[in-house]
Amino acid sequence: MNRTHLLLTIGALLAIGTGCTSKITGKEGNFQFAYAADDDPLDFNKPIAVGGRLDLRVTQVGTLKPVTLTDASTDEPGILSVVGTAGPVVTVQGESDGEAELSVEGETLDGELLGDRVDLQVATPETLALSHTCQPQQDVAAYLTGQEVRVPYELGLANGRAVIGYGVYPVDVSGTAAVLDPTGSDQVWMLFDTAGTGEVGLASQLDAETLTMRVVAAADIDGVAEPVAFVLEDIDVGDTNAFYVLPKAGADTICQANVAKTVVADTPDICSIRDRQAPPDSGGLAWEYGWFDITGVAEGTCRYTVTYPDGADGAGVSASFEFPIQP
């Protein structure tokens, strides 16, 4: 079976779960406060979820060197409390809707004792968005049994503003083939452990959002999804570019499929192929395991075959693909 590639732009790939940083200078101009942010990184004061925690990294303005925190408190502990500090990181927790001022003191690398303050908001989340890493626009995707898998999620307000923090996972899980692991989950992903097979439904406790996970065995693999090329244009001779490919079970792509596969060049005079890890800028696709490189050897059509040996009850499943190599 010959198919052309789905060619994604880097921008589209990075939109799937890429981490950035929100940062702001404190009121006294001594420290910079920052946290990992996947939503609206330019908006520092996104509300922290009631019941959620946020880790803020504190650095000295100018040098951006980490500060060793010696004290941290808020002026409204009933709205925002301090869980603790560790080196340059202060962890806060949302307690109730409102706004509070966080005050910190710390020692710089030069031994200077300084302090600073920053306002933080807290809000009760009103919406929950769920998606699949490999099929972000689809309601249904498959996963392999016996694995840890990640489901991207976003909390928000009804007006569309993001709500941040980890530790709040307002979702009901139906079915027994996947179990939520709250200790392994974080601000970006809900972590699930899969066991057995069957359909698992995720339903938001906040709104009408739903998502379906179909948990299957490796023996259920019966197809190969169209590979994704992590390039903006065709491959030139001498260039090496990353691709990833995933197996299918019926109509569903199997996300995060950590399963044996081979990718073999059928035209070694045109291209060479080797397995690889996910590129560092691959965003949420870093959790997909089917990455490989194609290197252009000569101008022509690169043809290759992807095989999942455990598929079709152990008989193996293969599909052939092609990609142009330019001079």
Question: Band of the pLDDT at 19, cuts 50, 70, 90?
Answer: low
Question: Band of the pLDDT at 257, cuts 50, 70, 90?
Answer: very high
Domain boundaries, given as residue ranges, for the chain: 6-13+220-326, 16-123, 127-219
pLDDT, tens digit (0-9, with 9 covering 90-100), for 120-147: 999 999 999 999 999 899 999 999 999 9
DSSP 48: E
pLDDT of residue 293: 97
Q: Do domains 6-13+220-326 and 16-123 have the same CATH topology?
A: yes
Tell me the C-alpha distance between 162 and 25, whole Å: 21
Whether 215 shows a pLDDT value over 80: the answer reads yes
Tell me the C-alpha distance between 178 and 216, whole Å: 11
pLDDT, tens digit (0-9, with 9 covering 90-100), for 147-157: 999 999 999 99
The edge-to-edge listing of strands for the beta sheet with 6-7 is 6-7, 228-229, 240-244, 291-296, 271-275
- Considering only residues 217 and 228, tell me which one the structure prediction assigns the higher pLDDT: 217
pLDDT of residue 15: 45
Sequence-distant (6+) residues with CB within 8 A of 163 are: 46, 47, 48, 49, 52, 123, 125, 126, 155, 156, 157
> What CATH number labels 127-219?
2.60.40.10
Task: Please state, rounded to an integer, the average pLDDT across all residues of the chain.
Answer: 93
Domain topology for 16-123 = Immunoglobulin-like (2.60.40)
Whether 163 shows a pLDDT value over 90: the answer reads yes
Whether 240 shows a pLDDT value over 60: the answer reads yes
DSSP 277: P
Using a cut of 0.85, tell me whether the model's pTM lies above it. yes
Whether 301 shows a pLDDT value over 80: the answer reads yes
> What CATH number labels 6-13+220-326?
2.60.40.1080
